[in-house]
A = this chain, B = another copy of it.
Amino acid sequence: MAIFSFLSPFYLAVLCVLIVIILQNMKKSEGKKEKGETKTESRPWVDEDLQDSTELLAEEDGTSPSGAHTEPWTFVVVEDPEVKHKIREIIEEEEEINYRKRMGDKWVNDLKRLKTNWVKEYLDTAPYLILIFKQVYGIISNTKKRTHYYNEISVSIACGILLAAIQNAGLVTVTTTPLNCGPRLRLLLERPVNEKLLMLLPVGYASKSATVPDLKRKQLEDIMVVV
């Protein structure tokens, strides 16, 4: 089925790069805040960027192919420290249950080599959290729903392009999927019932002391076949 025909990776790439630009300018405005400006004063920086973005977007419209038009995603960019901390509290609470009893030994053992646990300090320390929601269906009216074919694949593709854009912008992130936290995070962020949390990306610059785990990976010939 070609339901994905004319999906627009380029438009998505542009959008994702714009999100990163916006993030970086928020960073600037945050810097200004530290110099004593109020939050509201620093806000216009962001709005200006959103304006520029929309123009750029419009400019690209003519050259980029058009989407399948479900576009079933919402990117929630969280910069407010209090909201970030509430998100951390929800996730640590649910993840502790995941690790201690809900998910079982197999899951816990499968995660061991990743050295993860339910303590997620980065949810406080990362300058921005991007929570990506998939819209499992569209709302046409109170009674009428719109089918969002392949909504999970579609939103995941958008995430892939966002990850590439974040990397290209010199920022770093880690793809996390807060398990069993979706409903509470949806309520906290006041997202509608048709939206489900797919992924959470903490975004910022790499800490000078950051290290990369030395894990081997598959060779190209193991993942690519030429016929």
Interface residues of A (CB under 8 A from B): 1-13, 15, 18-19, 22, 26, 46, 50, 53-54, 57, 61, 63-69, 71, 73-80, 83, 95, 98, 103, 106-107, 110-111, 113-114, 116, 120, 147, 149-150, 152-154, 156-167, 172-179, 189, 198-199, 212-215, 217-221, 223-227
Contact = CB atoms under 8 A, between A and B. Distances in A.
A164 B13 contact: yes
B223 A73 contact: yes
Contacts of A74: 223-225
Contacts of A167: 9-10, 13
A15 B163 CA distance: 14
A116 B5 contact: yes
Given A95-B1, A227-B76, A214 B6 contact: no
Contact of A67 (B63, B80, B217): B217
A77 to B, nearest CB: 5
A19 to B, nearest CB: 7
Given A73-B223, A114-B3, A217-B66, A150 B164 contact: no
A67 B4 contact: no
Given A9-B166, A226-B77, A227-B189, A68 B149 contact: no
B178 A1 contact: yes
A226 to B, nearest CB: 5
A61 B215 CA distance: 9
A167 B79 CA distance: 31
B175 A7 contact: yes
The 5 A-B residue pairs with the shortest CB-CB distance, nearest first, are A160-B160, A156-B156, A9-B163, A1-B179, A157-B160
